[in-house]
Structure 1
Amino acid sequence: MTALGFLHPGHSAEDDYPRIEQLLGSDIRLAVVHTDMDEDPHHVDALLDMGSARRLTAGVEELRLSGAEAVVWASASGSFVYGVQGAHEQVRGLAMAAGLPASSTSFAFAHAAREIGADRVAIGAACPEDVAALFARFLTETGTEVAAVRGSGAVTPAELAGWDYDRVLALARESDRPDADAILLPDTALHTASHLTALEKDLAKPVLTAAQVTVWEALRLTDRRVNAPDLGTLFTREPIVQA
């Protein structure tokens, strides 16, 4: 049994994790602990507070008691908003507090893009343009070229969690570019676990989403590989990178 721990901001779309646990079809258990967040997390100051050590360390002890072997801060915007160096420091602090290997959703996207050989990506984010641009800068600084980035306004997590497949597909299509090797949907409040194969079929290219890459990153930290075709290209390819 491999137990993986996730610190999840708020209570939007967290049911993707038990869904992914089922789709993995293996001896893997996903433990989710919720962190506090403000009602409107789309402003930079609110995102910095959401990802602060004060917020994250509050849930660490519960994850340790769950038997987790690795912990991932399950937020893209709550990590990339710090920049690459600040996000590294955030992860180091989390690892020290938990006594476990640690990472975040932002680094998960960077690692996952390399894993599938996506040198150029398109980003579709349900956040203001200035926040989406910070994610594009983060990816660029970690070695992934961004072909296009689209923000779709300050949609609240509760609203985003209610989006159906057609709205998720529309966001992905609107952000796609012919020269993009993959499409990235970075919002952790977006339900995507049940849509990955359909998205990749409709878009004819790999799609990386927040919960998907976050779970993959936790598996990577524990040196586990799972073939799970229902979770998209990321979970079906032979590894390209190990680091």
Structure 2
Amino acid sequence: MWQPDGWDVRLRLGVLTPHGDVGPESELQAMAPEGVCVHATRVPFGAITTGGVMDPTIPLAPVQAFVEPPYIDEAVSLLAAAPLGAIGIGFTSSSYVLGPDGEQKVLDRLMQHSAGIPVIGTCASAVAGLRQLNVRRIALVDPPWFDAELDRLGAEYFTAQGLDVVAHGPCGLPSNQRSINPSELFAWIIKHTPDEADAVFIGGNGFRSVGIISALEQDLRRPVLTANSSLLWGLLQAAGSAATPSHYGEIFTPERV
């Protein structure tokens, strides 16, 4: 008799996302297992305007400003008032710019505003997931709106964590979130993934990519993680949940979690 009303949820997760970007929460909710709900709080991001429009390449200054006080600290406080199991930062770029140590300092600071709810970062989750998969060498694929400097910082982030980045670069697709076509991204990654890579990491939480994870893994015969699949895996781990998404990569297979 009664229809679903959204209240019958076992676990609620929070994500902090750039104010004009619908990508992180869309992909996280698409992957979320039954009974898991994603709630977003928006944080001002100076490189995005009304309607989610960004420049062809995003400058570094607003990327770093995204994780500086006071806005993101206030966003965590507001989000933490809800009954959440964990909170994630849905923004790869800031991790790249800050590096692993800087990212951890931000997470430690935000934990002071989270009422005890774990706060995790996208790239820190990606590194943990890659280690869980016993990966040593990765191919790093970044969005076309990441310039050469931001891409270089991304490679340095993973290198600093003991991973060998055997290939990296912004993918050669149109620099527009709405223009990203899964089939074109799939073809580009297949063509540009070197044989020596143990796994592929696709950076950018606003980069439409989770829908091709399973197909990529079938063709490449190696794990594929994206920013948002890594973040969801990290959120579920932090929340102590055994819930497992289907069809979104080896990282979520039962023997991996």
TM-score, reference length from structure 1: 0.88
* 1:214 CA drift (Å): 0.6
Structure 2 CA distance for partners of 1:81 and 1:155, relative to 1, 3 Å: farther
* 1:203 CA drift (Å): 2.7
Of 4, 12, 25 in structure 1, the residue corresponding to residue 22 of structure 2 is 12
* 1:227 CA drift (Å): 3.2
Amino acid at match of 2:27: D
**Amino-acid identity (%):** 20
C-alpha separation in 2, matches of 1:110 and 1:151: 19
Query: What is the aligned partner in structure 1 of residue 51 from structure 2?
Result: none
RMSD: 2.1
Contact map agreement 2:173 2:180 (CA 8 A) in 1: no
C-alpha separation in 2, matches of 1:155 and 1:87: 29
C-alpha separation in 2, matches of 1:28 and 1:233: 19
Contact map agreement 2:182 2:211 (CA 8 A) in 1: no
Query: What is the aligned partner in structure 2 of residue 37 from structure 1?
Result: 45
Contact map agreement 1:129 1:152 (CA 8 A) in 2: no
* 1:18 CA drift (Å): 2.1
Query: What is the aligned partner in structure 2 of residue 88 from structure 1?
Result: 104
C-alpha separation in 2, matches of 1:107 and 1:175: 25
Query: What is the aligned partner in structure 2 of residue 218 from structure 1?
Result: 235
C-alpha separation in 1, matches of 2:61 and 2:160: 22
Query: What is the aligned partner in structure 2 of residue 122 from structure 1?
Result: 139
Matched ranges for 1:163-242 at <5 A: 163-239=180-256
C-alpha separation in 1, matches of 2:221 and 2:227: 19
Amino acid at match of 2:18: P
* 1:237 CA drift (Å): 4.9
Query: What is the aligned partner in structure 2 of residue 62 from structure 1?
Result: 78
Query: What is the aligned partner in structure 2 of residue 135 from structure 1?
Result: 154
**Per-residue deviation, residues 155-208 of structure 1 (Å, max 9, x unmatched):** 75xx22431112221342354110101111111112223222122223332110
C-alpha separation in 2, matches of 1:189 and 1:227: 22
* 1:229 CA drift (Å): 3.0
* SS of residue matched to 1:97: coil
Unaligned runs of 5+ in 1: none
* SS of residue matched to 1:225: coil
* SS of residue matched to 2:256: coil
* SS of residue matched to 1:82: helix
Q: How many residues align structurally?
A: 235
C-alpha separation in 1, matches of 2:173 and 2:67: 18
Contact map agreement 1:103 1:217 (CA 8 A) in 2: yes
TM-score, reference length from structure 2: 0.84
State which structure, 1 or 2, has the greater radius of gyration over its C-alpha atoms. Answer: 2
C-alpha separation in 1, matches of 2:226 and 2:199: 11
**Per-residue deviation, residues 51-104 of structure 1 (Å, max 9, x unmatched):** 223231232233123211211111111222111211110110111111221111
C-alpha separation in 1, matches of 2:186 and 2:68: 32
* 1:43 CA drift (Å): 1.8
* 1:154 CA drift (Å): 10
1:28 is the counterpart of 2:36: yes
Q: Higher mean Cα deviation, 105-114 or 56-65?
A: 56-65
Query: What is the aligned partner in structure 2 of residue 97 from structure 1?
Result: 113
Q: Higher mean Cα deviation, 39-48 or 66-75?
A: 39-48
C-alpha separation in 1, matches of 2:103 and 2:188: 26
**Per-residue deviation, residues 28-66 of structure 1 (Å, max 9, x unmatched):** 222121211122472221211122232312322331232
Structure 2 CA distance for partners of 1:154 and 1:84, relative to 1, 3 Å: farther
